[in-house]
Structures are given as C-alpha cells and as structure tokens.
Structure 1
Amino acid sequence: MSPPASTADVVGSLYSSHHGWLHNWLWRKVGCRDGAADIAHDTFLRVLSADALETLREPRAYLTTIANGLLVNHWRRLTLERAYLEALAMQDGALEPSPEERALTIEALMQVDAMLARLAPKAREAFLLSQIDGLTYAAIAEQLQVSDRMVKKYMAQAMLQCLLIGNGDA
C-alpha cells in the first residue's frame, strides 16, 4: 500500500493536468491572457488551502467553481474601479491622486463593497441612508417601515462590519 499523497503532490498533479485548460477557459471569459493567468494562479492558490483534495472526483468542476468566484470579484473590482475613475474625472483636476493612492482607494472601496454585501438588505439600506443621505434614525425607520429600535440594530450590524474591516478581520 502506498503512502497517502501530500497536498503538494495532489495540487501539483491537478495543476499539471488542468492548468492549461483552466487558463484557456478563463481567457475566453476575460479576453486577456494576462488576466486569465492571474486568475488561474489565484485559483490554484485557493486550491492549496483547501481540505480533502484527495477525494476530489470532478477536478474541472471544482476549479471552475473557484475560478467563477474569482471572476465575480474581478468584474466587481473593474466596475468599482471604473466608477471611481469616472467620479475622479468629474472632479477638479487638482485632485488627481497618485497611482498608489488610487490603488489604496480602490482596495478600500472593495472592502466596503464586500462589507455591504455581507449585510442583510434592510441593514445595508439603513446604513446607506444614514451615511450617504444623512437621514436620522427616525427618518430611516419611517422610510423602511420598521421601528427606531430596528434601525439601531441594523446600524449596529453595519458598524460591527466596519470595525471588522478596520481590524483586518473582514
């Protein structure tokens, strides 16, 4: 009986058998070889931290599932980046951030977007009505047709998520 394969052996075998296929599949989705290579790389990084790879029966379905999640993140990041750059274009030219500032801002926007996505729809709406529109809790409660107490609960949930971002836990 042979000893169980190490995770590195399993991932190495998975990589050599399926990387070319995954890269081509991603290239068709992304339309850019470099972008496809980056996402394929990130897919295999996720595979490295996965459990129970030895029992994997459908490797392409597994890789596709991981890569699809990464593609969603990729498209979301591009959408956020595009919106940020459009907002910058509407501002005074003296407000031009450096490339490093842009990258940090886009990363922060991605974290906020992910935080908002983790909130329940009403909690997200309450948070945005408070922070973007400046509504009071009473006005938010009226608009959402909930109690003031519920708005406080929604805001507490949102603030907890904000704290988690600040601590790097989110």
Structure 2
Amino acid sequence: MAVEQDPTAQFSALYGEHHAWLAGWLRRKLGNAADAADLAHDTFVRVMAGRDLTSVIEPRAFLTTVAKGVLVNWYKRQALERAWLEALAQLPEAQMPSPEQRYVMLETLHALDAMLDALPPLVKRAFLLAQLEGRKYEAIAAELRVSLITVKRYIKQAYLQCLLLADDLPA
C-alpha cells in the first residue's frame, strides 16, 4: 500500500484496493454473500476506528487479522442469538415478550456478554459461580485457590462493571 500522509486518503486507498478481495475471502468462509458484505463493512469500520495505517506493510494480512476478530465476534453473537431464540421458544404464548422487548433483551444480553468477556478470567469465573451457581464466597475461594478477600474484590469488580453497563442500557 502506498504511504500517504492523509489518513482519509490512506483509508480510501486501503478500502478501494482490498474491499472486494476481503468480501470474497469472507464469502468463502461464510458461504453467504450478504453476511460477508456486512462483515467486510464491519472490518473496515474497525480499521477506520483503529490505528494509523502508515505502519501497515501487508494490507491483506492486516485486513485478514482484523476480519478474523470480527468473524469470531459474529459467530459468538450468532450462538448467543440462537440460544436466546431457543429459550424464547420454550415460553408459553401468553408470556412471549413483544418484538420490541425481545430486541431490547437481546441487546442487553449482547452487552452483558461483552462486559463479562472484558473481565479478567478469574473475576468472570468468580462472578458466574456466585451469580449462576449460588456458590458461597468461601467455596469460590477454595475452587479458585485464592483468598476470601480476593474473591470479594473480584465480585466487587464485576458488580462495578455491571453498574457501568446498566448506565449504558436503554431505559
């Protein structure tokens, strides 16, 4: 890729020279042109929000790396949505949330999933053991092989992340 000083020109050159290739690469991975086009777009959005492009020596390798991250997130989102739809299918018709409620609930699930993934692994594990399995802090400390005070710090850290997430969710 030619080195240009203007970031807009750098991005435009990268996009113009490699968008079709990236969309084709994603189409081969997914077997679906529409999803590939969406993910190619998402990849370039991530590139645009990311680093200075003057240091990119191998544009296709760079785009492949970014696209793989986008693809992993997409697969994860798809799995979460499938699980959500399966859970909804178990509800009686009278308890089925409206389409608007389902959308808000799904977006909340995605935000919660992202928040949990942002936590350090032991913090996430401690929080899930406490919240989903109802484990006592002492049992969590023993399982994770950390002190009781560490478990309390982990849970506090996770709760603080939940509070920050709650501030960003729709009312």
Deviates more, 1:13-22 or 1:116-125: 116-125
SS state at 2:65 partner? helix
TM-score between the two structures when normalised by the length of structure 1: 0.87
TM-fit CA distance, 1:83: 0.6
SS at match of 1:91: coil
Shift of 1:160: 2.0
Out of 4-13 and 26-35, give the one that drifted further: 4-13
Q: Which runs of 5+ in 2 are unaligned?
A: none
**Using a 3 Å threshold, how does the CA distance of structure 1 residues 44 and 121 change in structure 2: closer, same or farther?**
closer
Asked if structure 2 preserves the Cα contact closer than 8 Å seen for 1:39 and 1:70, the reply is yes
Instruction: Report which stretch shifted further, 84-93 or 59-68.
Output: 84-93
Using the TM superposition, name which of 99-108 and 149-158 deviates more.
99-108
- In structure 2, what is the equivalent of residue 24 of structure 1? 24
Counterpart secondary structure, 2:14: helix
Contact 1:7/1:48, CA 8 A, preserved across alignment: no
- How many Å apart are 1:158 and its aligned residue? 0.8
Structure 1 stretch displaced more, 59-68 or 107-116: 107-116
Deviations 1:30-68 (A, max 9, x none): 221111111111111122223321232111111111111
Letter in 2 for 1:96: M
Q: Aligned pair 1:140/2:140, yes or no?
A: yes
Partner residue, 1:81: 81
Show the counterpart of 2:119: 119
Q: 1:8 to 1:107 in 2, by over 3 A?
A: same
1:66-124 deviation line (CA, Å, top 9, x unaligned): 11111111000000001111111122222222333222222211221122222233322
For residue 19 of structure 2, give the secondary structure of its aligned residue in structure 1: helix
Amino acid at match of 1:56: V
The ranges of structure 1 where at least 4 consecutive aligned residues each deviate by more than 4 angstroms after the TM superposition are none
- Percent of aligned positions that are identical: 49
- CA distance 1:121–1:51, change in 2 (3 Å): closer
> SS at 1:57's partner residue?
coil
Alignment correspondent of 1:128: 128
Counterpart-to-counterpart distance in 1, 2:142 and 2:54? 54
Counterpart amino acid of residue 8 in structure 1: T
Count residues with an aligned counterpart: 165
Runs of 5+ unmatched residues, structure 1 = none
The 3 A distance-change label for structure 1 pair 119 and 5 is closer
What is residue 101 of structure 2 aligned with on the other side? 101
Higher mean displacement: 31-40 or 132-141: 132-141
